Amino acid sequence: TPELAKSDITNHIIVPNSNASGDYRIRRLVNSTSGCSNYSEPVFLYYAQNSASLSGGTISGSLVTCTSTSGTLTLSGHTGPVLRWERAPVSTGIWENIDNTTNTYTYTNLSESYCYRAYVDNICDKNGTDLYSNTFCVTVNSTPIVTSAPQSQSVCLGSSLNLSVTASSPLTLTYQWRKDGTNINGQTASTLTLSSVGTTDAGSYDVIVSNSCGSTISNPAIIAVNPLPAVIVPANYSICPGTLTTATAFSSNPAGATYTWTNSNTAIGLPANGNGDIPAFTALNSGTTNISSTITVTPILNGCAGPSSSYIITVKPIPVVITPASFSVCSGATVSSTSFSSLPTGASYTWTNSNTSIGLAAAGSNNVPSFTAVNNTASPVSATITVTPTLDGCTGTPSTYTITVNPLPANILASAEGVTNCGISDGKITISATGSAPLQFSIDGGSTFFPNGGIFTNLSAGSYSVAVQNSTGCILVGPTLSVVSPNAPPTPDIFPTGGTVCEGSNLILTIQNPQPGAIYTWRGPSGYSYSGPETSRTIANISSSMAGEYGVTTTVNSCVSIARTFSITVNPLPVVTVPANLTYCAGALIPEGAFISTPAGATYSWTNSNPAIGLAASGNGNITPFFAVNNTISPITATITVIPTLNNCAGPPATFTITVNPRPTVILPADFAICSGASVPVSTFSSNISGTTYTWTNSNSSIGLASNGSGNLPAFSAVNNSTSPISAIITVTPYFNGCAGTASSFTITVNPLPNVNVPVNSTVCSGTSIPASGFSSSQPGTTFSWTNSNTAIGLTGSGSGTVPAFIATNTSAAMITANITVTPFLNGCAGPSSVYTISVNPLPAVTVPANIIVCSGTTVPASAFSSIPAGATYTWTNSNTAIGLAGSGIGNVSAFTAINNTLSPITSTITVTPTNNGCTGPVSSYTITVNPLPAMSQPANLVVCSGTTVTASNFASNISGTTYIWTNSNPAIGLSASGTGNIPSFTAINSSISVISATITVSPVSNGCPGQQLIYTITVNPLPAISTAIATPESQCNINDGTITITASGIQPLEYSINGGNTFVQNGGNFTGLAAGSYSVVVRNANGCIINGPTLSVSSPGAPPQPEINAYVSPVCQGEPLILSIMNPDPLATYTWTGPLGFSAIGASIIRSNSDPSMSGNYAVTATINACVSTSKIFNIKVDPKPTLIVPQSQNYCKGALVPAHVFNSTPPGATISWTNSNPAIGLPASGTGNIPSFTASN
């Protein structure tokens, strides 16, 4: 073959190359003896196969197909020819042969799923075992199977409609609902919901269920939309308790509805609820005020409840009259008018009298008038007065009381016998009468009565008025008698001699031709009497009780004349009863106004204050009927004044009013049209008359308005469930004070509404491009307007037609949703709006920690991220893994141990990406800086003597800028207990007799990171202590036999010096052979620590006096000069000065500049004259060191933070401190002393 090198074949049995397969051409190479060669033609072809790679091949094709669809399967990779194809139904697994030997097989119209394989010849198997390909199964899917179709149903107008379909398929299903064969836009779920069904929603509904193999249409559901009935209820009405109401029958539009009703107040006698019409019932009200109940009626037709309508039943209270108690009067007495009252107040009354013989009419209205009681019998007579109250048309229970009229005594007979002589009291009067016993008698006109049988004796001459009283207390006045005497003067003449007067007028009684010196004695009814010289008497405002017989006598010189008697009749004033005040409507016929008088029989005259009502200005008798007139727009009132006259006596006038109300006219709205579902505002009626009320009727309640009502036309929602405009005629009747004006009408037309189909709700990320959205309607010609409730999503707030494409935005921290409200318009009517939502998720914003700075080796706490909105997930990257954190991660950053093996801070940037609701937000970053730990050089331990100035300890570290914090375990050495920075120079202190040590612990800090602590010690050895130092003088000048003896203690052995420490000897402190002079004592212990003792003087006999020195300053501050001078120096003397640390000088005035604490101690001065030395003047000077202040490092604080107190330390300790602040605005005063107190940082 071309692929193989030529090979020699020497055998007739040829074995193909086992490592290569293909077509082999086999031919022979023939070599001749002459050395020539040639190839033969190939004798046969052979297909050689590697037995290890034999294969039945692999079938490929579509794994899924649909019924009625063809598909092709292809076999490849097989090593032998195809002998046949086989297939087996998946349901049985039984293989069957397919007569096909090609590399492909095409199937068609499969009704179920099949598995396929190819049977291939095994060319290397001499035993006939062949090869199979892989098994390739084809899943056959069908169009969807509807297992549950939507169901036909009837729904009520305005209710919701819910339809659903159930279908089966292993493939993804989609749905499209249709109405009457037309797709319903946006209805692509397995359920269909219409929230408020209208009449146009009735029809046939089905759903197309689809998968990738095709579609299936469900059986249709027939939807009927039943109208909502409107109930017609009666107008509000009032009724009296105890009245049987008529049954209330309701009607509806459309007809045929049933009804349920509720009663808000069962106290009226009606149950709380019921069904159907309301039966007749007996109205109840046991109270004293109106009680009302609202009857609410709901119509139901074909299972659909229409809007409820209400009316009010008011049950008025029954009035109760309050009458007076029964009473008794005497015949002839005037009975006062009787007034009644009621509960509730305001009732009117009618009354009847059972016995008119008492002088009262048989019946009347309102109050019972005053009348004169009558009883012409010998026994009491009674009358029952029955009063019936009426209030607001309701008649109450009658109430009664009794008037009893007692009779007067009768048949009075009286005679008088005169006196025998003037001035003699022997006259007599005898009286007899009949009546209810016992009778009592009076001769003084009734002032006093006596039960003496009517016989009065021993009477003086004069006039006596007779009266008789019966057992009931009723009095009858008899005649006036005269008891005369001989020689009596003549009977007086009077005027008038009798007659009639009107009640209330004045009666004037006059003596005619009076006699000089006469006394006139008058007697009359009701005990009237007078005796005196007056010849004229006036009885003012006479009443009926003064009617009767009067008598007068003349007395001259004690002789009394015969009485002149006469009778006076007092006619009562008639009282007229007029009608109650009247109110009528203009144009009404006002009936005759009849008047009644007490007593009866009066005539009448009347006047009218306002003839404009249609009645003359005045007249006599009763008022004849007339038609009420009012041509104004307000009520007009006339006052009718009636004067009664009886027996020429005019009674008091009485008045009543006639009010004529005008008839109103109504001003109505113009006819108007409105859309179904629109809110029709209150239709306010107006009139030419203020205060007019209205009733109205509606010819077509299907527009959503009740069939009748009162007042203004209420607001209502217009209804038109049809496809054409409908109209209603509203007829309005105006009323003013119960007067109906002319009715007027206007028309309301209600147009039907269109509908709209909107897209499904959607949710996107901020920044997404939203395509344009179009709408549809089942009503051709519908246009659309839309509003967007939330322009923050990137869409304008409103528009018309299609919603344009836009880029969704959300800059808030939470998902925002816009309600896209689409309103269809048709013929000027806006249909019910439909809403779909566009929700825009914000790109989450992650809040990361503030930049973190930590020390190497520190555990960095977990970094918890938060997001706005909450709930985001996070991915993060780390720019520098050398800090000990992985290069990336998901969620929060876990805690880790910070690493920095360098000498400088290293920083990493952590970048966090938030994701929420599938939306990826912008990244945020923070840094983590890891500072290295400093390492400092080990300080050496120190050993010093007490009082020695210890030089400052300056620390060093491997990191520039390292600061130090140190502590001292033993402040007794003269160093403060703690401090920061280098340890300053200080004076070592040991006041004990033993060695003391302090451990100094130093912590290096770099960028807030503490390194390893180091420790060293400072040991302070004590000074020796001098107990005594005594000098003895020379025996004489310049003999040099003076001595000094020193006693001291301390660490042995001790060494002594008397030359200020220049030289020391171990002589036990004894110095001899000393010349006169000044000696500075110093003692040194075994640790080399010295103490300066006193400066002693070895004096000589004849030595000059001890020098006096000028005043000096002690202590002095370090750096200031020490001034030493002699007061009044002797010019012959030499002054020698000694002091600490071997100080010596000669002169009368010495200045030591730039002092320091080592110059502190005892100083001595001597004077020398002629080789004789004075005793030493010894004094002490102290040089105080200047304190060094240890201050805190500079610090930063946030506004509002509490800054802790700043405590200052000094070397040496104990310094007082004053400070100033350059900027008090930080919240700290401008200056102060001592430590700085805590304060609140301000900016």
1077-1104 per-position pLDDT tens digit: 788 899 999 999 999 888 888 888 778 8
Architecture label for domain 51-141: Sandwich (2.60)
* Structural tokens at position 416: 């008088």
CB 141, CB 65: distance < 8 Å: yes
User: Is the omega angle on the peptide bond into residue 1212 within 30 degrees of 0, that is, cis?
Assistant: yes
Torsions phi, psi of 1115, nearest 5? -80, 165
DSSP-assigned states of every residue in 935-987: -BPPPPPEEEETT-EEPPB---BSSTT-EEEEEES-GGGSS-SEEESSBPPEE
Ranges of residues in the chain with a pLDDT under 70 are: 1-53, 125-129, 723
- Fold match between domain 145-226 and domain 942-1021: no
CATH number for domain 320-406, candidates 3.40.50.300, 3.30.465.10, 1.10.260.40, 2.60.40.1080:
2.60.40.1080
Spatial distance between the Cα atoms of 27 and 95, rounded to a whole number of angstroms: 45
Name the residue type at position 218. Answer: S
CATH class entry, domain 230-315:
mainly beta
Strand ranges in 743-832 using DSSP code E only, listed in sequence order? 744-751, 762-765, 769-770, 783-788, 798-800, 806-807, 816-826, 829-830
Going by their DSSP bridges, the two strands 1209-1211 and 1231-1233 should be labelled as: unpaired
CA distance 622 to 438: 50
DSSP 390-441: EETTEE---EEEEEEEEPPPEEEEEEEE--SSTT---EEEEEEEESSSSPEE
Side-chain half-sphere exposure of 111, counting CA atoms within 13 A: 0
**Can you read off the two tokens belonging to residue 739?**
């007067």
Rounded-to-integer distance, Cα 647 and Cα 572, Å: 9
Hey, where are the domains in the chain?
51-141, 145-226, 230-315, 320-406, 421-571, 590-656, 666-751, 765-841, 845-931, 942-1021, 1025-1184, 1191-1240
Exposed/middle/buried for residue 633 (C-beta within 10 Å: 0-12, 13-18, 19+): middle
Query: Could you check whether the bond before residue 496 is cis, i.e. omega within 30 degrees of 0?
Result: yes
Q: What CA–CA distance (Å, rounded) separates 268 from 262?
A: 13
Architecture of domain 942-1021: Distorted Sandwich (2.70)
Fold of the 1025-1184 domain: Immunoglobulin-like (2.60.40)
Give the homologous superfamily in CATH for domain 421-571.
Immunoglobulins (2.60.40.10)
**Can you tell me the distance from the alpha carbon of 81 to that of 84, in angstroms, rounded to the nearest whole number?**
9
* Cα dihedral sign, 1059-1060-1061-1065: positive
Q: What's residue 31's pLDDT?
A: 62
Say which amino acid occupies 727: S
Query: Coil, strand or helix: which one is 541?
Result: coil
Q: Hey, what are 1180's tokens?
A: 């002490």
Q: Cα separation of 772 and 786, whole Å?
A: 13
Cα→Cα distances 1002→751, 798, 944, 954, 991, Å: 97, 75, 20, 11, 26
Superfamily per CATH, domain 845-931 = Immunoglobulins (2.60.40.10)
Domain 145-226, CATH among 3.40.50.300, 2.60.40.10, 2.30.30.100, 3.40.50.2300: 2.60.40.10
Level-2 CATH architecture, domain 666-751: Sandwich (2.60)
What is the predicted pLDDT for the residue at 213? 85
Q: What is the pLDDT of residue 32?
A: 60
Quick one: pLDDT at residue 1022? Answer: 95
Q: What is the pLDDT of residues 229-240, one digit of tens each?
A: 989 888 899 999
Q: How far apart are CA 110 and CA 1151, in angstroms?
A: 132
Let me know the angle formed at the C-alpha of 832 by 831 and 838, rounded to the nearest 5 degrees. Answer: 120
By three-state DSSP, how is residue 830 classified? strand
From residue 836, alpha-carbon distances to 133, 776, 805, 911 in Å are: 55, 14, 16, 39
The rounded distance, in Å, linking the Cα atoms of 273 and 279 is 12
Length of the chain: 1243
pTM of the model: 0.41
Q: Are 1035 and 1041 in contact (CB under 8 A)?
A: yes
